[in-house]
């Protein structure tokens, strides 16, 4: 696992997010209904500040930390606070060994049954490196789609992001009691010769990395498929086969896991 790459990706994606946000802080963000660019920036400040606190030994206070800003803060203050929050998290990432254990956070990191364990271990600094790189990339895309044409997502990061969505985020918030079109069904997800096959069982999500049988499947280029799974792009950017009611229910379950 290339933890240094996660750190570099977070730094680059976070910088691009801030640069895009300057364009129009009042622009509505279609991929986050009800939010403006300023709301996405404020959310990112909260995410980065919380992550920096998790990485800091014993959550010790640091005088130079960026603090969450008030709802009434000026746009300039918000952007300045975002820059400081981003810089603080980059610094904390550089200080920590990715294998160090960490505590706290809202995500109860579940793992789908059958996963081979290639990702960072939940509860380690490296797991947080991966999460923050993905958060910055997706929210950078949110803002760029709001103010203009979004730039490309790193293909390897997108493939790893698909793996994280399906193998970590979905099972972490999985509701086995739900009864919908995906219950007991198998969904295939495919991109660039990479395959994920998930079965929605009452006991949890079972995932394998072979093609196999699926009641429905979705496939596409890594970046478009990742943004589709995150609910940021419409179904027209991917190829869908099989039972569409299964895919619709599957996407609703994915949306519920993005909390």
Domain spanning 156-257: CATH 3.10.20.30: no
**Does pTM top 0.75 for this prediction?**
yes
CA distance 231 to 32: 9
How many C-alpha atoms does 13 have within 13 Å on its Cβ side? 30
> Degrees (nearest 5) of the Cα angle 104, 223, 206?
55
- Per residue of the chain (259 residues), give pLDDT as tens: 688 999 999 999 999 999 999 999 999 999 999 999 999 999 999 999 999 999 986 655 455 444 566 666 788 999 999 999 999 999 999 999 999 998 765 444 455 555 554 668 888 999 999 999 999 999 999 999 999 978 999 999 999 999 999 999 998 888 777 788 889 999 999 999 999 999 998 888 999 999 899 999 999 999 999 999 999 999 999 999 999 999 999 998 898 887 6
Q: How many CB atoms lie within 10 A of CB 88?
A: 21
The strand pair at 186-191 and 216-219 is best described as parallel
Q: How many CB atoms lie within 10 A of CB 13?
A: 24
Alpha helix (H) ranges present in 73-120? 75-95
Q: What pLDDT, on the 0 to 100 scale, is given for residue 172?
A: 86
Pick the CATH number of 3-151 from 1.10.10, 1.20.120, 1.10.1740, 1.10.287: 1.20.120
Locus of tokens 């980065």: 48
Q: What pLDDT, on the 0 to 100 scale, is given for residue 241?
A: 96
For the record, the structure tokens of 87 come out as 């810089």
Domain positions in the chain are 3-151, 156-257
Q: What pLDDT, on the 0 to 100 scale, is given for residue 103?
A: 76
CA distance 40 to 140: 9
Which helix H or strand E contains 147, and what residues bound it? helix 125-147
Give the closest residue to 14 by CA, choosing from 86, 66, 116, 85: 86
Mutual orientation of helices 125-147 and 75-95 as an angle, nearest 10°? 150
- Decide whether 3-151 matches 156-257 in CATH topology: no
Q: What pLDDT, on the 0 to 100 scale, is given for residue 59?
A: 54
Q: What pLDDT, on the 0 to 100 scale, is given for residue 105?
A: 52
Q: What pLDDT, on the 0 to 100 scale, is given for residue 18?
A: 97
């Amino acid at each position: 696992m290339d933890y240094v790459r996660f750190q570099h990706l977070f730094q680059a994606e976070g910088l691009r997010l801030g640069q895009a946000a300057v364009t129009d802080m009042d622009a509505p963000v279609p991929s986050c209904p009800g939010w403006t660019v300023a709301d996405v920036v404020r959310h990112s400040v909260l995410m980065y500040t919380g992550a920096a606190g998790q990485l800091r030994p014993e959550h010790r206070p640091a005088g130079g930390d960026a603090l969450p800003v008030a709802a009434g803060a000026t746009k300039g203050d918000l952007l300045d606070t975002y820059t400081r929050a981003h810089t603080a998290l980059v610094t904390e990432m550089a200080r920590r060994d990715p294998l160090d254990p960490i505590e706290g956070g809202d995500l109860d990191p579940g793992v789908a049954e059958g996963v081979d364990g290639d990702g960072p271990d939940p509860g380690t600094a490296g797991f947080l490196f991966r999460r923050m790189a993905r958060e910055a990339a997706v929210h950078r895309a949110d803002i760029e789609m709001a103010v203009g044409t979004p730039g490309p997502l790193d293909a390897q990061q997108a493939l790893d992001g698909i793996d994280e969505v399906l193998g970590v985020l979905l099972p972490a918030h999985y509701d086995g009691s739900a009864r919908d079109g995906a219950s007991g069904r198998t969904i295939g997800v495919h991109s660039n010769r990479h395959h994920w096959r998930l079965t929605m069982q009452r006991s949890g999500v079972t995932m394998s990395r072979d093609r196999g049988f699926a009641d429905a499947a979705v496939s596409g280029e890594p970046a478009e498929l990742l943004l589709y799974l995150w609910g940021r792009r419409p179904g027209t950017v991917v190829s869908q086969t099989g039972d569409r009611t299964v895919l619709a229910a599957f996407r609703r379950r994915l949306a519920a896991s993005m909390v």
